[in-house]
Chain A
Amino acid sequence: MTMQPATLIPPLLALALAPLLLGVINRTKAVFAGRRGQPLLQTYFDIWKLLHRGAVYSRTTTWVFRAGPVVGLACALVATALVPLGGVAAPLWFPGDLFLLVYLLAVMRFFTVLAALDTGSSFEGMGASREVWFSALAEPALLLALVAVARPTGSVSLSQILAGLTADQWVHAGIGFALVVGALIIVLLAENARIPVDDPNTHLELTMIHEVMVLDHSGPDFAFILYGAALKLWVLGAVLVGVMLPVHTGSAWLDMLVALAGMLGLAVIVGIVESSMARLRLLRVPQLLVSASALAVLALILAMR
Chain B
Amino acid sequence: MATDASLQLHNGQSAALGGLPTLGVTEFRERVIGGVEQGARLAALFGVPQEDGAVRLVAVLSDAAMSSLAVCSTEVADSYPALTPDCPQAHWFEREIAEQWGVRPENHPWLKPIRFHRSYRAGHDAWGRDMNLALLPSVTDFFRVEGDEVHEVAVGPVHAGVIEPGHFRFQCRGEQVLHLEISLGFQHRGVERAMVGGPDKRAIHYMETLAGDTTIAHATAHCAAVEALAGSGAPPRAQALRAVALELERLANHTGDLGALAGDVGYLPTASFCGRLRGDFLNLTALLCGSRVGRGLVRPGGVQFDADDARIEQLLKRLDAALRDTTLAVDLLWNTSSVRARFENTGVISERTCRDLGLVGVPARACGLERDARQEFPSGIYRFFQIPVSTFHTGDVFARAYVRWLEIQRSAAFVRDILKALPDGALRAQLPLLAPNSFVVTLAEGWRGEVCHVAMTDERGRFARYKVVDPSFHNWIGLAMAMRGQQISDFPLCNKSFNLSYCGHDL
> B152 — nearest CB in chain A belongs to which residue?
A122
- Residue A29 CB within 8 A of the other chain: yes
Cβ contacts under 8 Å, A201 to chain B: 266
Which among A32, A122, A206, A279 is the interface contact of B266 at CB below 8 angstroms? A279
Cβ contacts under 8 Å, B151 to chain A: 122, 125
Stretch at the interface among B92-100, B308-316, B354-362, B489-497: B489-497
Q: Is A33 a contact partner of B269 (Cβ separation < 8 A)? A: yes
Q: Is B272 a contact partner of A278 (Cβ separation < 8 A)? A: no
Within 8 A of B (CB), among A90-126: 122-123, 125-126
> A122 — nearest CB in chain B belongs to which residue?
B153
Q: How far is it, in angstroms, between the C-alpha of A205 and the C-alpha of B180 when the chains are bound?
A: 16
Q: Is A281 a contact partner of B341 (Cβ separation < 8 A)? A: yes
A195-B266, A205-B155 known; A277+B490 contact, CB < 8 A: no
Q: Is B269 a contact partner of A275 (Cβ separation < 8 A)? A: yes
- A264-294 vs B, Cβ < 8 Å mask (1 yes, 0 no): 0000000000111111111110000000000
- A165-205 vs B, Cβ < 8 Å mask (1 yes, 0 no): 00000000000000000000000000000011001011111
Q: Is A278 a contact partner of B153 (Cβ separation < 8 A)? A: no
Q: Is A278 a contact partner of B488 (Cβ separation < 8 A)? A: no
A204-B264, A206-B155, A206-B491 known; A278+B269 contact, CB < 8 A: no
Q: Is A203 a contact partner of B161 (Cβ separation < 8 A)? A: yes
Cβ contacts under 8 Å, A283 to chain B: 175, 487
Which among B161, B175, B338 is the interface contact of A278 at CB below 8 angstroms? B338
- Residue A35 CB within 8 A of the other chain: yes
Within 8 A of B (CB), among A56-110: none
Chain A interface mostly helix, strand, loop or mixed?
helix
- Residue A153 CB within 8 A of the other chain: no
- Residue A155 CB within 8 A of the other chain: no
Which among B152, B265, B268, B342 is the interface contact of A274 at CB below 8 angstroms? B268
- Residue B133 CB within 8 A of the other chain: no
Which among A129, A196, A205 is the interface contact of B338 at CB below 8 angstroms? A196
Which among A122, A125, A126, A279 is the interface contact of B265 at CB below 8 angstroms? A279
Q: Is A126 a contact partner of B267 (Cβ separation < 8 A)? A: no
A25 to chain B minimum Cβ distance, whole angstroms, is: 12
- Residue B65 CB within 8 A of the other chain: no
Q: Is B487 a contact partner of A202 (Cβ separation < 8 A)? A: no
Q: How many A-B residue pairs have CB under 8 A?
A: 87
Cβ contacts under 8 Å, A280 to chain B: 338, 341-342
Q: Is B492 a contact partner of A34 (Cβ separation < 8 A)? A: no
Q: How far is it, in angstroms, between the C-alpha of A192 and the C-alpha of B264 when the chains are bound?
A: 19
- Residue A207 CB within 8 A of the other chain: yes
> B341 — nearest CB in chain A belongs to which residue?
A281
A122-B154, A126-B153 known; A278+B265 contact, CB < 8 A: yes
- Residue B339 CB within 8 A of the other chain: yes
Within 8 A of A (CB), among B299-350: 336, 338-339, 341-342, 346
Cβ contacts under 8 Å, A277 to chain B: 267, 336, 338-339
Q: How far is it, in angstroms, between the C-alpha of A31 and the C-alpha of B174 when the chains are bound?
A: 38
- Residue B382 CB within 8 A of the other chain: no
Cβ contacts under 8 Å, B346 to chain A: 281
Interface extent on A, as a size class?
Answer: 20 to 34
Q: Is B268 a contact partner of A32 (Cβ separation < 8 A)? A: yes
Q: Is B487 a contact partner of A281 (Cβ separation < 8 A)? A: yes
Q: How far is it, in angstroms, between the C-alpha of A192 and the C-alpha of B131 when the chains are bound?
A: 55
Cβ contacts under 8 Å, B161 to chain A: 203-204
Q: Is A35 a contact partner of B272 (Cβ separation < 8 A)? A: yes
Within 8 A of A (CB), among B63-110: none
- Residue B273 CB within 8 A of the other chain: yes
- Residue B421 CB within 8 A of the other chain: no
Q: How far is it, in angstroms, between the C-alpha of A201 and the C-alpha of B161 when the chains are bound?
A: 12
- A118-157 vs B, Cβ < 8 Å mask (1 yes, 0 no): 0000110110010000000000000000000000000000
B163 to chain A minimum Cβ distance, whole angstroms, is: 10
Cβ contacts under 8 Å, A33 to chain B: 268-269, 271-273
A267 to chain B minimum Cβ distance, whole angstroms, is: 16
Q: Is B487 a contact partner of A282 (Cβ separation < 8 A)? A: yes
Q: How far is it, in angstroms, between the C-alpha of A279 and the C-alpha of B271 when the chains are bound?
A: 13
Cβ contacts under 8 Å, A281 to chain B: 341-342, 346, 487, 489-490
Within 8 A of A (CB), among B156-175: 160-161, 174-175
> A271 — nearest CB in chain B belongs to which residue?
B268
Q: Is A284 a contact partner of B272 (Cβ separation < 8 A)? A: no
A201-B266, A203-B160 known; A126+B342 contact, CB < 8 A: no
Q: How far is it, in angstroms, between the C-alpha of A295 and the C-alpha of B252 when the chains are bound?
A: 46
Cβ contacts under 8 Å, B493 to chain A: 207
Cβ contacts under 8 Å, A204 to chain B: 160-161, 264, 492
Cβ contacts under 8 Å, A199 to chain B: 266
> B496 — nearest CB in chain A belongs to which residue?
A204
> A282 — nearest CB in chain B belongs to which residue?
B489
Q: How far is it, in angstroms, between the C-alpha of A32 and the C-alpha of B160 when the chains are bound?
A: 26
Q: Is B342 a contact partner of A279 (Cβ separation < 8 A)? A: yes
Q: How far is it, in angstroms, between the C-alpha of A276 and the C-alpha of B160 when the chains are bound?
A: 25
A204-B161, A206-B491 known; A123+B153 contact, CB < 8 A: yes
Cβ contacts under 8 Å, A29 to chain B: 268
B459 to chain A minimum Cβ distance, whole angstroms, is: 53
> A279 — nearest CB in chain B belongs to which residue?
B266
Cβ contacts under 8 Å, B490 to chain A: 207, 281-282
A277-B338, A278-B336, A283-B487 known; A202+B152 contact, CB < 8 A: no
> A33 — nearest CB in chain B belongs to which residue?
B272
- A24-46 vs B, Cβ < 8 Å mask (1 yes, 0 no): 00000100111100000000000
Given contacts A275-B269, A280-B341, 15 further A-B contacts (CB under 8 A): A33-B269, A122-B151, A129-B174, A196-B266, A199-B266, A204-B161, A206-B155, A207-B492, A277-B336, A278-B339, A279-B265, A279-B342, A281-B346, A281-B487, A283-B175
Smallest CB-CB A-B distances: 6 pairs: A33-B272, A279-B266, A278-B265, A278-B267, A199-B266, A204-B492
* Chain B interface residues (CB < 8 Å from chain A): 151-155, 160-161, 174-175, 262, 264-269, 271-273, 336, 338-339, 341-342, 346, 487-493
* Chain A interface residues (CB < 8 Å from chain B): 29, 32-35, 122-123, 125-126, 129, 195-196, 199, 201-207, 274-284
15 A-B pairs with CB atoms under 8 Å apart are A32-B268, A33-B272, A34-B272, A122-B152, A122-B154, A123-B153, A196-B266, A204-B492, A275-B268, A276-B269, A277-B339, A281-B346, A281-B490, A282-B487, A282-B489
